[in-house]
Structure 1
């Protein structure tokens, strides 16, 4: 009969950590409740950093709908099986009439949210929050901003400056006719209010076709001919050549996304007969597009391919998609060349999905160290 002398808790710390690194997020939260020493190991920020660099298998955070926000964690096992778990992060109350909660983005284990409330007939009050979806803690950034929604449209973009680990938010205000009116930036932990950008960003497109990658926001212009950029570190804009298209821009939908550790462009012809994925890489100091992935005749007939966005390439080459207009995931099997739709939620509203890299310690720890400056905690 085993005794305490030979229990698992007597294993070397390095070996225990190696075991923890191959467990799922759900299993690790169970381990945290076993004993104080395991809790201290897992809640150490160094453990989170090492775990996210060596995720055993992808976990997707899926947010469903706007007015009735629901969150799910979906784990994709090496066998191809999916398990899903509803989660209830501490988020701002959005039960009021004409109050909407939307996801700005997910970064470094934190979920950034936008709460919009009707102020009067033509204006909305917008407030940015961020929280740890699993470990609690929710903070708001600055005061409410009143936005004239009668003639304007606002878009929020989240980015991380790799050299300083600073979070920054880009807020772009468009006129009703899609002309850019102004742009602001907010550095979390440093700024108390939004700063007006010194350089205009007029080439940026109004609609959400862009994405942030390695500290830079990439977005097509209105015509889809070239890609404009915003560097969160220098707070300056630029542009790079767009990918060579197999069809004229008027015949294809284009969307930017991050797949694995690369920036990619998804092209879907408007007749919805195939999906082409182009990967952006740097070769000898210049940008180039390569590795075309063609998916054709592999989707269920009832699935609208125009809303598919790649989320991750699995280790065996299978590809995981989310559907922009449906609360579902789509799994592409490289061997069978077929796709399977995994419905997560019954509602059919615009959803947000991202590969989930957990943070096993609370935001309050970083706040206490002064990383985020002076913040007001929600709730």
Structure 2
């Protein structure tokens, strides 16, 4: 086995491990050694285990052929792999991606039990590499709808090629936690989906037919003490599904714990701003949900509101007041974000014409939460900031993830506490045009967390192949993709035919060349004959998996470039053939004149 943290598992529907929500306190197992000697030992163990796996498969085949009368228990007991210490196998498995582990589950019962052990699932989750998930919600471009889409960026800052199967064309992402995605739909259901395994849990919304309901009013998180997954919903004031005059306020937060039978309502201390929730965002950190709300008593007229999911209590924290506010560029705006597991306030002045466009200086403050006190400290002061602030996570590892204009997603190294962004040093990651509006950035991992254990009040299933694309509104979109695949197929076929025909002609001309006595003419025909063979790039097999939008654009550009190349090569071959035809015609005429003169 070879460790490959960036290996994708999109589209998998294989079996997966136990839920990590029950046994996160692991005592008897240690994490793999990170020392140099430990790395060499781990590589050696991988080689040994790979050899043993081959022996295991050969042994199973031999057993099936020569010892069919033996019981399954006897055969299993004789497997060489079962003689290895469990801790040794676990250390190897901890370094493998989810996609490989889902395959290993079916090798033997022994491996199945190890990988599905809740403690192993929890430990593997702690070792899992982190991804940045860029989500583009569905929208309209020139009146035409485009679907929701997502791109994963790994630790090497390489973007994924394929779409995420669990995200349907009409889904809206409202949270990511331990490899699980919270997805809002326009139906009466919301769903929690495992990014790696494809398993989905469908749940009833807490309130049906609420006018003005929006995916940004939902949040999804994990409580580290109770090991429970929580969904929260800001319920706007409404009467029989209709909003009254104070439509921008809410008094109730609804909370659902995965595995429970119903939602619970919690009344807020006072009516709070729903617009602030939508504009500033919501984050979950250490079992608490945080958002911004209006506070007329504060200098900045905003405060941080929190709801403790364990104590089920509310608290308010004043924002830092040390920033300078001259309103030179435009009104100051605040966002709440999560950086390295800490609550952060991001503030900057914005454009008068576009409230999302950041101008001037960007300040980032972190909240240090201790049992004794809460204290704000300024983490970064960034001059010449990017145009847009992504959320809820816009810092990944040691780089800030930014959006220039409305489409280009770039990264920039966080150099120090105070620095100025040099646009020439921005690293462009991808181009979402023209679907770059309202991009979100989430931290995510690929995990073995199972949803079947939470199916008491929901429906657990794996989605159909590209569920949701059968709707009529996506018919034109699907037809366009089908046309491109048809173009690829015809192009490959034309290239094959052109290659075969030119090679055949080339071979026939080679047989003809010795019959041409004129040395100069023979050399000219030989040179042109070498230009006849059409040389095309290797034909790569077309994947059946759906590409994400960024890769679809690249694929289309590659297709059109290859069509142009085909035309150029065909024209060059045609010209060479015509030249050879003319030269052979002249040779024939010379032979005819020579024969006539001799006669």
TM-score by length of 2: 0.50
Cα distance between partner residues in 2 of 1:309 and 1:324: 17
3-state SS in 2 of match to 1:146: coil
Cα distance between partner residues in 1 of 2:101 and 2:267: 49
Contact 1:322–1:353 (8 Å) recurs in 2? no
Contact 1:189–1:374 (8 Å) recurs in 2? yes
3-state SS in 1 of match to 2:119: helix
Cα distance between partner residues in 1 of 2:404 and 2:86: 43
3-state SS in 2 of match to 1:221: strand
Q: Which residue of structure 1 aligns with residue 318 of structure 2? A: 241
Structure showing the higher helix proportion among its residues: 2
Cα distance between partner residues in 2 of 1:47 and 1:327: 40
**Gaps in structure 2 of 5+ consecutive residues:** 1-46, 54-80, 140-146, 237-242, 296-300, 351-357, 416-420, 464-599
Give the Å deviation of 1:227: 1.1
Tell me which of 277, 281, 293 is aligned to 1:221: 293
Tell me which of 149, 157, 164 is aligned to 2:219: 157
Contact 1:130–1:140 (8 Å) recurs in 2? yes
TM alignment of 1:84-233, pairs within 5 A: 84-91=160-167, 100-117=170-187, 126-142=188-204, 145-149=207-211, 155-174=217-236, 177-180=247-250, 182-192=252-262, 194-200=263-269, 202-204=271-273, 205-209=276-280, 210-222=282-294, 224-233=301-310
Q: Which residue of structure 2 aligns with residue 374 of structure 1? A: 457
Q: Which residue of structure 2 aligns with residue 331 of structure 1? A: 411
Cα distance between partner residues in 2 of 1:333 and 1:145: 43
Tell me which of 316, 321, 325 is aligned to 2:401: 321
**Gaps in structure 1 of 5+ consecutive residues:** 95-99, 118-125
Q: Does 1:51 align with 2:95?
A: no
Tell me which of 113, 135, 149 is aligned to 1:70: 149
C-alpha change, 1:4 and 1:292, in structure 2 (3 Å) is: closer
How many residue pairs are counted as aligned between the two chains?
Answer: 342
* C-alpha distance after superposition, 1:324-358 (max 9, x if no partner): 99566432224596432322644223233211122
Give the Å deviation of 1:293: 0.9
Contact 1:277–1:294 (8 Å) recurs in 2? yes
Cα distance between partner residues in 1 of 2:159 and 2:185: 30
Q: Which residue of structure 1 aligns with residue 429 of structure 2? A: 342
Give the Å deviation of 1:91: 5.0
Contact 1:227–1:239 (8 Å) recurs in 2? yes
Give the Å deviation of 1:31: 5.6
Structure showing the higher strand proportion among its residues: 1
C-alpha change, 1:14 and 1:70, in structure 2 (3 Å) is: same
Cα distance between partner residues in 2 of 1:186 and 1:324: 37
TM-score by length of 1: 0.75
3-state SS in 2 of match to 1:285: coil
3-state SS in 1 of match to 2:99: helix
Contact 1:91–1:138 (8 Å) recurs in 2? no
Tell me which of 75, 86, 107 is aligned to 1:36: 107
C-alpha change, 1:307 and 1:253, in structure 2 (3 Å) is: farther
Q: Which residue of structure 2 aligns with residue 121 of structure 1? A: none
C-alpha change, 1:21 and 1:325, in structure 2 (3 Å) is: farther
- How much is the aligned-residue C-alpha RMSD, in angstroms? 3.5
Range with bigger deviation, 210-219 or 345-354: 345-354
Give the Å deviation of 1:264: 1.2
